[in-house]
Structures are given as structure tokens and as C-alpha cells.
Structure 1
């Protein structure tokens, strides 16, 4: 996955892509941000939550928002909630890119929502997408009937006309704010040696879990707004949606993902794409928040997701949602932690936060727990203290015999953090049995206070210079 372009500090102009379903809004979004960030499929209504990204347009960064298709529907229905989310995005736009399908021509829905867009008192750029070829160009001229100005014909899929679109966007953006030179070049404050390690950029958090565990409701509660589409229907979130949240001195980039089901139940192409996007988001995370429905306990699929977090080497926070509906809280908490410790030893000591995302009760405890998990994930153990502990562990339980010969383990060092990774050196160290590795890993976790994060233990054997003589 390509990294995002560098983004300057401060507010960015907001450009919102709007229009009825299946006119190519997400394809245009991906084209402008320069990467496949939004799910695209030949199915109407793929986009449900508004997706944000940063695009570089003629030397200026913009905050680009892809929205769900505008449809007439009852406010309480799924499509009604999707439309409300799109309308909320339009309200904050500095520029609206109103898209139509040039091949389909002007539809009654286009006319209806064009009238609505005109009433928003926002600058509008009319996009006639899918206008490749002579027929598309001719069809784009029909868009004059919408009364939104000159239509710009292009093909987001093939890239035709996108360069002209960038020029048009740049000309319609509000004037760029110029920061004071003293502010731009202000030196960063120096950190004392006693101060704990802090994130140098946004702390990347991914929310994962099974469908209908309350992931999107949790994100909405953290943000204090209805940013994500929620409801009783399972699997509402299809794409991975990233938002930025400021909390005290830290900034969090939080990604809400689609619910992960068993592979045997995933049979639709679109759902496979959603699962792939969720796994990709997890790979880019620093801390994973595993959301469980506390009223249902630990499901086998929850354990599979936890194993995926451990395999990717991410810090983890266990989020027990719907805690207000749990009757025997002590027994429920113990049952969940016992199941995790038995089935997944690497999750031993994982921080647990209990809350109700729907009511907001105790949700404020989550981000401090995420920050603490990140600190443990970045921990480094001094080599001197590590080897003093290592000698004690060897004296307590001698290395085992392998093929009648005892392993001679000499010293240990930490080679990296994120997650903490250690290497044991010694004669035939590569033959160390798994149970002795677990003994050392459990000791590391207890001695150096490394709960709930994956610990990697590698071995390096000493070569015998006379082996080939």
C-alpha cells in the first residue's frame, strides 16, 4: 500500500463528492487521492459511510470526502441514514463535486438532487463521469439542463479529463491561508530523559471485531457525532473508514472496519473486498481494539481475530461493549479472560475496558488504555538488566538436553520494539524447544511488565569452525 502524501498542519479545504448511487464517485475518489482507498464494485450502494482522504491538487492539499449515494428514503431506513450522512458532509464542503453518469443520461434523481445541491449555497462543480468516447462527450452536454453550470466530462476509471478536473478544483478553492513565519519555524520543545516516550505522529488505531459488536457505535461515541452509519442490521460497515481524533496531548487516527466473519460464510465478492480492507487496516495499525459483545462472551471467531492481531504483531486492547446489559459482571469478565489465556497465551495480561458504546458510559477509559498499550508495545529493555535476568532464568531452569547434549545459551539482546523482539545467542540455540521458549517469554512478560503485547523470541546458534574439517 502506498503511503499517504505528506499533509501540512492546519485546516484543509473540504471537497465533497456527491451524487446518486453508481455514478462512479468512489472511482473518482480513488483517482484523486492516487490510491485504491475506497471499495469499488459494479454494484449500486457500495459506499455507505463517508470516506475521507487527502489529495494533492495543483500543489494544494485538500480533504476529499466520498459519500454514499443520494436516494429518496424514509429517515429511519438504512438508505435514509446514508443520505443523512451524505448531507452532513455537504454542509461542511468548500466545494461540491456533483457527479452524474453521462452514459445513463439525466435521471429524475439527478434533477431532484441537483435542485437540493443548489439550495446549499456551496460552490458546485458538475462532473459528467463515464464520458469516454464520442457518445459520452455528447451525452455530457445534456447536463446543462441541471442548471449547475458547465459540465466537465471525464472518465474516472480511465483517467480521461482528470487533469482538467484538478485545474478546475484548484481555481474554485478558497484562498490559501499563509502561516506566520515565526510559527512555521518554531523549534520543537526538547524532551527530558525522564519523560516517557510519546507518539511523534497520529497514533494509529484500528477497531476490529465480529459484525454487530458495536464498532461503529463506539467510534461515533468517541467522536461525539453520528459519523458512521449504525443500526440493528449486521454488517453495515463495508469499507475501512479512518477519522482523526484529538485527545489531550495526543492525536489518534482511528479506523473503523467491517465485521470479520468466518471464511466459510464469506461468499460475496463485495464482502471479500471488505474483509481484505479490514485486514489491510490492521496491518497499518499500531494498536488494535478488539470489540466484543459482552452479553455473548468470547466466540471462536473472536479468538481467530485475536490470533490475527498477534500474528501481525500489534498491541491489543480488549473492549467489552454492552457492559450495561451484563448481569453477573464479575463472572463474565473472568470467563472471557480465562478463555483468552487458555486459547491465546500471547494475549495474557491484555488490557480490558468495559463500557457501553450506546449510552457512552465509561467510553472515556478506552483511549488512555490504548495509549498505555502503545507504550508497552514500544518498550525497550536495557541490555544489562536483560542479561542479569537471563542468567537467573538459566540458573532456575537449565536449558534442556537436545540429542543428548545440553544447549549452551550465552546471552540475550533486544533487537527491536513494535513489538518487543529478543534474540538468544548460544551453541545450538536454534534447537531450543518451544516449551523453553514459552518459559523465557513468560518470564520476560512478568519481569519487565510487558502485558498483552506479542513478544517475539528468536535464536541464533554459534557456528563450529571445525564442523567441515
Structure 2
């Protein structure tokens, strides 16, 4: 039986380090600076023979409900409501602080099983501070070190005691756990409709990424606000999109805004940017969200180029479209996108409003369409019939009196479409002719917006060695 555990505590007690230790991956950002985590983040944890969902939360702090601190606390309270049990984390080196005592009373009122964890308990100072946890009235503290992996055997025993029914072994548990482990492996090159489609939403800070996803989900799942740069971790949320033709399971990643590299100086922002780049690499479709009031800034073009170089399917979203009075301006913006972004010519440009929810169905339809193009595979016979006609009408140029010969083309793989061309003297083929072939493939076989890879292979010259002699 599956269950959910929320990790709660004041800032900088090691909640994200504990989360990473339980899920076995460095998913959450970790830094000595307090208040790194802002959104709540769920992951599949494993402790002993138990598989469960663990939620990392922002540090508990007092603040007005309208402030950023207050909105972060609301996210934490939502995690408490969702959880079956709570890990209340304190810093053993600091001992029980007044803030710990205040928030311990909040956790007790939740009426959920609570396990008190005295983190950073390595060394004599940590051991002494762990005993102060008895004053919080949450039971016996479990002394552990999330960074070094100490004390998790005792944590396992406490979890069995706190949730006896949920942790009870069933006859089919071994088979169930095996299925869970296999289902977690989402890295594959084959198209599998049973797996959720991975979508990363990226863009500059304050483009409205979190607001858009919240509107799509129909709940305030992600932290939002007027401040730029609220999101730090790349948070994944599951979503079932009911399209016109069929339902589709999606995994949507909200990411931190990407600023110009020269402006990124703080270590924390560098970590957040690296997490965003990781989300792009593991996504199948990337929605680059632009501010419709100031579209196609230089940083927007840089982000699109990054997505193209990573080989991800692309959809461009023009957010805050409700602020644009002349709706016919979308025609000019699409023409501008085609001019400024020739490497992804034909990419779908969709106007949306994250605040009002306008255009979301069309945006998700564009995402599904871009994913289908990204997975498209063409037969060798069709490709070579096309190549023959292209060469007859516009043959490659001659080099040093000898004409470059292109003999054969094939597509060994998709995701994105990758073509291999065979011939002679292809190392002399001009870049302009390569672009000509790429654009021809894109236009003839309906590959709009997706990155196209092209590799040139030529046979060895049997007389090259004799000539050198």
C-alpha cells in the first residue's frame, strides 16, 4: 500500500538533503543559504523495502499571507494536508529553537503521525542537541545525518510503527515493487504512448510559467507572485490532458527563469539555471514561454537556440496575450519568429493567457502535434526519390573541378529526425547547400519546427595512400 510523507521544518535544517537521500537522486537544490526551497516537490522514495511518496517543502516561517513567505507557508500547509505522515526536522547542532517549538504545535494540530528527526546529529555537539528534541512534545527524536546517511535504520523502524497498516507487507509486494522500479525508468528512445509525455516550460524570469501551469492544473500547485525569479527548483507535476481525440498523460516541469549568463552571479541562481538545463535535456517537448508585451528579446532567441541544439521538440507560447489589444498582431509575430529562428522554421507560435486560461487547449494541441513530428520516421525509398529530384533540379557545386556526388540518404533514428547522407567529397559540401537540403526535408515531409540533424558520410579514397607515397 502506497503512502505519502511530508518533510517539515524551519529553514536550513536539511530537509532537501534528506529528500535527496530518500529518493536516491540530487533532485532538490541544496545550499548553505537558508530558504532555498520554495515550492513543494514530490518524489518516489525508497527506505529499506518500503516505497512511498515524499514531499520536500519550504522552511516554515511567519509572514503575511500575501507576502512571498506567506505563500510559501501555504504550500507547506497544503503538503501537510496531503500527507499521511510527517517528518518534522530540527537541527541537532542548534538544538530545539523557539521557532521549532512554535511550528511543532502547528504540526500537532494536523492530527497526522509525526516522526521527529534531529538532523546533522554527527559528532558530540549533534548528539547533545538531539536530546533537546524531547521538549517539542513530538515523541522520541531520531538522531540522523541526511548528508552522511546515518540513522536511517532507526527511521525505518519508526516509520513502520507510525503507519502500521500502510507499511504492512502484502503477498504481491515484491511484484508490485518491481513494477514501480521499472516504471520509474523513463529514459528511452522509442515512442511509448503508455509513458507520460515529458514537457518542460522554460523562459525568462517573470514570463508567467508557474501561473500558466497552475491554470492548466486548475489549482495553485506552484508558487506564484509578482516577484521575478520565485521558482528555483524544476518541479514536475502529473496532468491528464483530455484532448479531442484521446486522453494523454503528461508530466510537466516548471523551471526557473533563465537570465543572461553575464547577469548570473549568485551560486543559487547558477544551481537553478543548471536545474532548468537538466529539465530541458530530459524533456521531449519544450514550451518556450515569451512575454507577449516584449516578445523575441535576445534572451528569448538564446533559449530557443539552446532547445534546438539539445534536439527537443519546440512550441513557442506568447503569454499575457490578454494584455495585447490588437489580436491580429499574431500574424506579424509568427512572421517575425520565422525570420529570427530559421533553425526551427515553422515552429508553432501560440498566444495564451495564464491568468485567464485562454488558448490553453490550443497550446496543448500544439505540444502533441510537435511531439508527433519529433517522432516522425521516413522510409528510405521516399527519401531517395526526393533526393533524386532535388539533385536533378539543383545539383551540388563543383570543388576543384570535380562535382560533389550525393548518392544516398537514410533516416537511422528520430527524436529528433536524424538523416545520414552518403557520397563523395562531402567534406567540401558548403553549409548553404546543407541548409538547402534541411529546408527541403522540412518542407517536403512536413517537419515544421523540429530540429533536424544531418550527418555526411563518404567512402574512403582507395588511391589516397598511393598519392601520398
Inter-partner Cα distance in structure 1 for 2:39 and 2:66? 16
**Residue in structure 1 matched with residue 367 of structure 2 by the alignment:** 370
**Residue in structure 2 matched with residue 394 of structure 1 by the alignment:** 391
Inter-partner Cα distance in structure 2 for 1:132 and 1:211? 39
Give CA-to-partner distance per residue, 1:123-156, whole Å, 9 cap, x none.
1100011111122112111111111111001111
Match status 1:257 vs 2:219: no
**Residue in structure 2 matched with residue 7 of structure 1 by the alignment:** none
Is the 1:58–1:170 contact (alpha carbons within 8 Å) kept by the matching residues of 2? Answer: no
Match status 1:453 vs 2:450: yes
Q: CA deviation at 1:430?
A: 2.7
Q: CA deviation at 1:180?
A: 8.8
Inter-partner Cα distance in structure 1 for 2:398 and 2:203? 43
Is the 2:160–2:167 contact (alpha carbons within 8 Å) kept by the matching residues of 1? Answer: no
Q: 1:368 to 1:61 in 2, by over 3 A?
A: farther
Of the candidates 208, 215, 228, which is equivalent to residue 209 of structure 2? 215
Of the candidates 448, 458, 463, which is equivalent to residue 460 of structure 2? 463
Inter-partner Cα distance in structure 1 for 2:366 and 2:16? 35
**Residue in structure 2 matched with residue 275 of structure 1 by the alignment:** 273
Inter-partner Cα distance in structure 2 for 1:290 and 1:20? 34
Inter-partner Cα distance in structure 2 for 1:180 and 1:24? 35
Q: CA deviation at 1:466?
A: 2.2
Q: CA deviation at 1:109?
A: 1.1
Match status 1:233 vs 2:230: no
Inter-partner Cα distance in structure 2 for 1:361 and 1:424? 44
**Residue in structure 2 matched with residue 334 of structure 1 by the alignment:** 331
SS of 1:12's equivalent in the other structure is coil
Is the 2:292–2:318 contact (alpha carbons within 8 Å) kept by the matching residues of 1? Answer: yes
Of the candidates 142, 145, 170, which is equivalent to residue 135 of structure 2? 145
Inter-partner Cα distance in structure 2 for 1:121 and 1:175? 19
Q: CA deviation at 1:341?
A: 2.2
5 Å-filtered alignment, 1:175-190, equals 175=167
Inter-partner Cα distance in structure 2 for 1:372 and 1:146? 55
Is the 2:43–2:55 contact (alpha carbons within 8 Å) kept by the matching residues of 1? Answer: yes
Of the candidates 283, 289, 292, which is equivalent to residue 290 of structure 2? 292
Is the 1:423–1:458 contact (alpha carbons within 8 Å) kept by the matching residues of 2? Answer: yes
Is the 1:207–1:291 contact (alpha carbons within 8 Å) kept by the matching residues of 2? Answer: yes
Between 148-157 and 162-171, the greater mean CA deviation after superposition: 162-171
5 Å-filtered alignment, 1:293-312, equals 293-312=291-310
**Please, what TM-score do these two structures have when normalized by structure 2?**
0.92
Inter-partner Cα distance in structure 1 for 2:274 and 2:402? 47
Inter-partner Cα distance in structure 2 for 1:402 and 1:46? 58
Is the 2:318–2:351 contact (alpha carbons within 8 Å) kept by the matching residues of 1? Answer: yes
Is the 1:419–1:454 contact (alpha carbons within 8 Å) kept by the matching residues of 2? Answer: yes
Q: CA deviation at 1:110?
A: 0.7
Q: CA deviation at 1:432?
A: 1.3
Inter-partner Cα distance in structure 2 for 1:32 and 1:101? 18
Q: 1:170 to 1:306 in 2, by over 3 A?
A: farther
Match status 1:97 vs 2:95: no
Is the 2:424–2:459 contact (alpha carbons within 8 Å) kept by the matching residues of 1? Answer: yes
**Please, what TM-score do these two structures have when normalized by structure 1?**
0.92
Inter-partner Cα distance in structure 2 for 1:199 and 1:230? 32
Match status 1:128 vs 2:118: yes
**Residue in structure 2 matched with residue 242 of structure 1 by the alignment:** 236
Is the 1:320–1:353 contact (alpha carbons within 8 Å) kept by the matching residues of 2? Answer: yes
Q: CA deviation at 1:310?
A: 0.3
Q: CA deviation at 1:264?
A: 1.1
Give CA-to-partner distance per residue, 1:23-43, whole Å, 9 cap, x none.
110111111111111001111
Give CA-to-partner distance per residue, 1:173-226, whole Å, 9 cap, x none.
325696999x98xxxxxxxxxxxx652311111110000000000111111111
SS of 1:388's equivalent in the other structure is helix
Q: CA deviation at 1:338?
A: 3.1
* Cα RMSD after superposing both structures: 2.0
Is the 2:50–2:167 contact (alpha carbons within 8 Å) kept by the matching residues of 1? Answer: no
Is the 2:374–2:450 contact (alpha carbons within 8 Å) kept by the matching residues of 1? Answer: yes
Match status 1:315 vs 2:316: no
Which ranges in structure 1 are unaligned for 5 or more consecutive residues?
Answer: 1-10, 185-196
Is the 1:16–1:93 contact (alpha carbons within 8 Å) kept by the matching residues of 2? Answer: yes
Q: CA deviation at 1:18?
A: 0.4
Inter-partner Cα distance in structure 2 for 1:355 and 1:43? 36
SS of 1:244's equivalent in the other structure is strand
Q: CA deviation at 1:366?
A: 2.2
Is the 1:309–1:316 contact (alpha carbons within 8 Å) kept by the matching residues of 2? Answer: yes
Inter-partner Cα distance in structure 1 for 2:160 and 2:354? 40
Give CA-to-partner distance per residue, 1:375-427, whole Å, 9 cap, x none.
10000001111110110111110111122211011010001100000011011
Q: CA deviation at 1:229?
A: 0.8
Inter-partner Cα distance in structure 2 for 1:432 and 1:168? 68
Inter-partner Cα distance in structure 1 for 2:13 and 2:34? 9
Is the 1:57–1:170 contact (alpha carbons within 8 Å) kept by the matching residues of 2? Answer: no
Of the candidates 134, 144, 157, which is equivalent to residue 154 of structure 1? 144
Which ranges in structure 2 are unaligned for 5 or more consecutive residues?
Answer: 177-190
SS of 1:468's equivalent in the other structure is helix
